[in-house]
Chains A and B, each alone.
Chain A
Amino acid sequence: MQRQLANMKQSLFDQGYLDEQFIQLEELQDDANPNFVEEVVTLYYRDSARLIQNLEQALEKNPLDFGKLDSYMHQFKGSSSSIGAKRVKIECTQFREYCRTGNAEGCKKTFQQLKKEYATLKKKLEVYFQVARQAGPVEKACRPK
């Protein structure tokens, strides 16, 4: 089980879904707080759903308010960064760049891509945490290669 978990994690890193920050969070887990990362990720998905909704609504306006969009995305990028969601973060950066240049099409396209990455990561992490709970307490952070 432990090995399966380690492999899953390695894969998530290799494919660029997660970055170092995820490991940093895992290192904050201990016997008293064995599910800390799962708690943070759950909180992230719950909290960012609100931001996604705000972004959806803002993207339907005409003309787009790039300032507002950028502000929402700044928040979204921040929390994504805090959980180590690498691919999501990349989309956030791209989106903000399009805001900066006032590229409405770019924003809309990137947002669709972002939602895909966001949803994919959620599924993968759900499986990961499921395995993690079954595997039991892990040896101190197995760092992916």
Chain B
Amino acid sequence: MEEMGSDCSSSGLQELHVLAVDDSLVDRKVIERLLKISCCKVTAVESGRRALQYLGLDGERSSVGFDELKVNLIMTDYSMPGMTGYELLKKIKGSSKLREIPVVIMSSENVLARIDRCLEEGAEEFLVKPVKLSDVERLRDFILRGEEKNEREFSRKRKTSDDSCTPASSPSSSDSDLPSSPISPISVSTVSDEPRPKRARLLDDN
């Protein structure tokens, strides 16, 4: 019989840091548990504004350096008061500092136009709530593969010991603009060389 609460350290899985954004207390508790079981570090916040604050994008200097806040994935609810998940997504994708962080939208409403809009804006995936453990595990594996690839590319770049560190030499994703400044070594990215299939899990019951 498989032990559900498997020892994360012994499983050899790198711990991803996920920022979860949801105005619902209940949903935050559930997503937090889903992520912890999947061996992820979780920071759960209640709004888009708080999320931006945490990511250091609200104009104010965050007290902690970006390094420590390194976020590998953002999972956000769509319908939230104030700033919707879609608006948060746009802000993140519009930021040179943060745009490489994969963003997943969660919504209880299975609206095709909504899904399309989010995917077009750069969301990695659109999950219909309630989110399942299998969704989270699948996401984690996908992000981990991207991170591993990133690490390999980064160490390869370092070996060439070229200060200008031109992004053009690396197989970067076709949709990102080449930043004029050298890529920060701590930038999180799931840069991949093949087009990622945009998936949306559609509600099949109800």
Contacts and interface: CB of A to CB of B under 8 A. Distances in A.
B1 to A, nearest CB: 6
A47 B25 contact: yes
A40 B133 CA distance: 16
Interface string A40-56: 10011001000000000
A40 B34 CA distance: 13
Contacts of A25: 30
Given A24-B133, A27-B133, A28-B37, A39 B29 contact: yes
B133 A75 contact: no
B5 A33 contact: yes
A108 interface: no
Interface residues of A, number: 26
A79 B4 contact: no
A44 B26 contact: yes
A28 B26 contact: no
A81 B29 contact: no
Contacts of B2: 140
A30 B5 contact: yes
23 contacts: A24-B132, A24-B133, A25-B30, A27-B4, A28-B34, A28-B37, A29-B4, A30-B3, A31-B5, A40-B29, A43-B25, A47-B25, A75-B23, A75-B24, A79-B26, A81-B129, A81-B130, A82-B24, A82-B26, A82-B129, A82-B130, A139-B1, A140-B4
Interface of A: 21, 24-25, 27-33, 36, 39-40, 43-44, 47, 74-75, 77-79, 81-83, 139-140
